[in-house]
Structure 1
Amino acid sequence: METLKNPLKPEIYTERVRPREEDIRGPYFRDQTAIIHSMPFRRLKHKTQVFFSPDNDHVCTRMEHTLHVATIASAICRAFGLDVDLAQAIAFGHDLGHAPFGHRGEEVLQDLLKDQGGFHHELYALRVVDQLANDGAGLNLTYGVRDGIICHCGEKYEKEISPRWDKVELEGIKKLGIYPASYEGAIVRMADKVSYLGRDLEDAIRAGLVDEDQVPSGIKQKLGRKNGEIIDTLVKDIITQTQRTGRISLSEENHQLMKALYDFNMKNIYTSPPLEEYGLFSEKILRTLFEELTSVYDRCGEDHERYDHDPVPLFRRFGRHLDKYSQIYRKEKTPAPVIVGDYIAGMTDDYALKCIHEVFIPEPLKFDIPRGMHET
């Protein structure tokens, strides 16, 4: 099978934010370990894909989705002699910028931060790995991984993707949908779509939102009935079509079937009345947290000791967050909405629920009850 060659010089892909001597792991496997050991990666297990804080251990989380993307991308990369370590590192980091409560959370932050340039999870993910992770030191990842992370999200119905032929300054990217500079990045971008369509459908059937009989017969017969079958069909098709065209691509038939499955999911899952109701609830939570944190920041500013004496635990933790990242915020003169957005974007679903509880239900007073007072 033909080996694909990336367009840029190899040393461009391995270039780091700060020079660093490489070790036995190699540059991309080292990036994998840096991402896996980071706090933003750990929080993925408590961030949901579609369903709001589900009371079910088998519903897909961002962590599971990330692993699906990594394995799908790895399989395709192996077929063309590409760097599996690079693909896996991109996959592990591609969703580190997601807000709590899935895409509804992203939409809320996009609106709240519209005067600051908005909020897009792929752009924010670069901020996470470059600046916020590792207590403000960043992960110092390679250009190839950082490029794949910020460029992983494109059109919903892309039939084919080819890597771009130029190196760009990633920090300056404002436009969405730019193609990645590597085949590995292009494959992760395609694998991201392949991974979630069948998985979301399985979860919806398990939750009783959708009956399997509702799924169009053409999708079941040609793509598959289960997520594993759908992934298998699409991965084999991508390998076959890529071998023919030299571009990461799908056949016209499977591209149309993939679009049909997405349209079915959109109508019956993503915009279904139960999920719309949960979406409104999560929106209220995030807007309220944004207002409350902005208010306390307006009162206390950079006086970190004032936060320590606030009766609301959330505000005390927010003060510690400000203290930890004070150098970054002072250096870039970060506006208050972006600071608050940083804190909220890093929350998990459950942590956001905990925070809203703390805002409205104060901590109980603790009394030093004399010994023996409750004895009978």
Structure 2
Amino acid sequence: MAGFRNPLTDDFYKTRIQKREEDIRGPYFRDQTAIIHCMAFRRMKKKTQVFFSPQNDHVCTRIEHSLHVSTIASVICKALGLDVEMAQAIALGHDIGHAPFGHAGEKKLNELASSSGGFFHEVQSLRVLDRIENDGKGLNLTYAVRDGIVSHCGEEDDRSLAPCETPKDLDTIQKKGTIPTTYEGCAVRFADKIAYLGRDIEDAITANIVKIEDVPETIRDALGGKNGEIIDTLVNDLVHWSLRNQLIGFSDQKFDLITKLKRFNYDKIYKHEVLAKYIEYVERIIETLFEYLVHHVGEYQMAFELYRGDHGKLINRIGDYIERRQNAYPLGQFSPLRVVIDYIAGMTDDYALKAFEEITLPKPIEFVR
């Protein structure tokens, strides 16, 4: 256990953007409550994990995935003697900046934002929590939680991790792939991977995209055939290997199986023709919204009376969004592209669909008698 000592000081990890006196909750539990009470967290219940705008209430959404990551990370940290409350806060906020329509939405936003450095949900999650939430004032989270969120990328192919030993200027991070400065952040990164591997298969079975028999027998025999079995196998492997090696990671055998399972999911689920059709539709929705909003925001800038006077309800709403978050969009640094990327990234699947229909479908003729 002695090996799991974070490299920076406890006081540094608890540093906030603005000083505040801590209360009876403690710094990391306070961060949890700030995250779960914010509007962006609530919207995750209507954001896709893999399957777009699902009609089946049992298919995983972004908020459910975040709760799964939180519980898995909690078990890992409890077993390793780490700070459970810190890990829970990181996990609850890790996907809060994710685009609508899952990774298809993120990929399209990244393409549209390429001229300004691209779009990465890890970076956007930190931006939402630091700059956009609370009417542009942010949630004033601790360094440890902010660092874990921006560094969480569960899609990275890490077999093991140790914390980065030098402090980072989190505001300068523009891409995914940075290493957390805490073991708790490392644990969340692995919990993210564990959470989606089996659940994506479970949802694909529900959607009749694959059958459990399609998963190679060697993987089923070693990891389990159900999501709960896969989680249990991988968590136990990670805990036992980590205790022996004083790093957070998987054994070679289980990591090899994880790699094979990820390949199965990619080939048989994420590239399935059913999802491919939806991806084309999603790309059209996001590109249409982007072009429409960039045009109007570029024209109206910070002239809020123009937004209010526009006949388009979507333009009325984005004008109100900007006006209430002027701290996030200083006049001298105002970027229509940045505003629109933030606004679209914050949409739920349902809201994006509604907004798309609003600006593309013909309006009914109103006969006045």
TM-score exceeds 0.5: yes
Letter of the 2:216 counterpart: P
Unmatched segments (≥5 aa) in structure 2:
none
Query: What residue is the counterpart of 2:59 in the other structure?
Result: 59
Q: Please state how far the C-alpha of 1:179 moved relative to its aligned partner.
A: 0.9
365 and 303 in structure 1: CA distance in 2 versus 1, 3 angstrom threshold: farther
Structure 1 CA distance for aligned equivalents of residues 304 and 257 of structure 2: 55
Query: What residue is the counterpart of 2:224 in the other structure?
Result: 224
Query: What residue is the counterpart of 2:215 in the other structure?
Result: 215
Structure 1 CA distance for aligned equivalents of residues 271 and 281 of structure 2: 14
Q: Please state how far the C-alpha of 1:173 moved relative to its aligned partner.
A: 1.6
Q: Please state how far the C-alpha of 1:328 moved relative to its aligned partner.
A: 2.7
Q: Please state how far the C-alpha of 1:368 moved relative to its aligned partner.
A: 7.2
Query: What residue is the counterpart of 2:69 in the other structure?
Result: 69
CA deviations over 1:78-131 (Å, ceiling 9, x no partner): 112111100000000000110001011111111111010111110111111100
Query: What residue is the counterpart of 1:373 in the other structure?
Result: none
How many correspondences in the alignment? 369
Structure 1 CA distance for aligned equivalents of residues 116 and 108 of structure 2: 14
Tell me whether 263-272 or 319-328 shows the greater mean CA deviation: 319-328
SS at structure 1 position matched to 2:242: helix
Tell me whether 120-129 or 281-290 shows the greater mean CA deviation: 120-129
Structure 1 CA distance for aligned equivalents of residues 136 and 285 of structure 2: 27
344 and 148 in structure 1: CA distance in 2 versus 1, 3 angstrom threshold: same
2:41·2:93 contact (CA, 8 Å) conserved in 1? yes
Query: What residue is the counterpart of 2:157 in the other structure?
Result: 157
SS at structure 2 position matched to 1:318: helix
SS at structure 2 position matched to 1:326: coil
Tell me whether 294-303 or 143-152 shows the greater mean CA deviation: 294-303
1:319 pairs with 2:319: yes
Structure 1 length normalisation: TM-score? 0.95
306 and 175 in structure 1: CA distance in 2 versus 1, 3 angstrom threshold: closer
Query: What residue is the counterpart of 1:98 in the other structure?
Result: 98
Q: Please state how far the C-alpha of 1:365 moved relative to its aligned partner.
A: 6.1
Q: Please state how far the C-alpha of 1:300 moved relative to its aligned partner.
A: 2.3
Q: Please state how far the C-alpha of 1:367 moved relative to its aligned partner.
A: 6.7
Query: What residue is the counterpart of 1:349 in the other structure?
Result: 349
1:162·1:248 contact (CA, 8 Å) conserved in 2? yes
Structure 2 CA distance for aligned equivalents of residues 175 and 110 of structure 1: 11
1:312·1:363 contact (CA, 8 Å) conserved in 2? no
Larger radius of gyration: 1
Structure 2 CA distance for aligned equivalents of residues 217 and 59 of structure 1: 25
CA RMSD across the alignment: 1.5
| Superposed counterparts of 1:129-168, under 5 Å | 129-153=129-153, 156-168=156-168
Structure 1 CA distance for aligned equivalents of residues 363 and 293 of structure 2: 18
| Superposed counterparts of 1:191-202, under 5 Å | 191-202=191-202
366 and 32 in structure 1: CA distance in 2 versus 1, 3 angstrom threshold: farther
Structure 2 length normalisation: TM-score? 0.97
2:108·2:286 contact (CA, 8 Å) conserved in 1? yes
Structure 2 CA distance for aligned equivalents of residues 301 and 143 of structure 1: 33
Query: What residue is the counterpart of 2:169 in the other structure?
Result: 169
1:154·1:178 contact (CA, 8 Å) conserved in 2? no
104 and 252 in structure 1: CA distance in 2 versus 1, 3 angstrom threshold: same
Structure 2 CA distance for aligned equivalents of residues 154 and 239 of structure 1: 17
1:290·1:344 contact (CA, 8 Å) conserved in 2? yes
Letter of the 1:214 counterpart: D
Letter of the 2:348 counterpart: T
Tell me whether 328-337 or 259-268 shows the greater mean CA deviation: 328-337
Q: Please state how far the C-alpha of 1:200 moved relative to its aligned partner.
A: 0.3
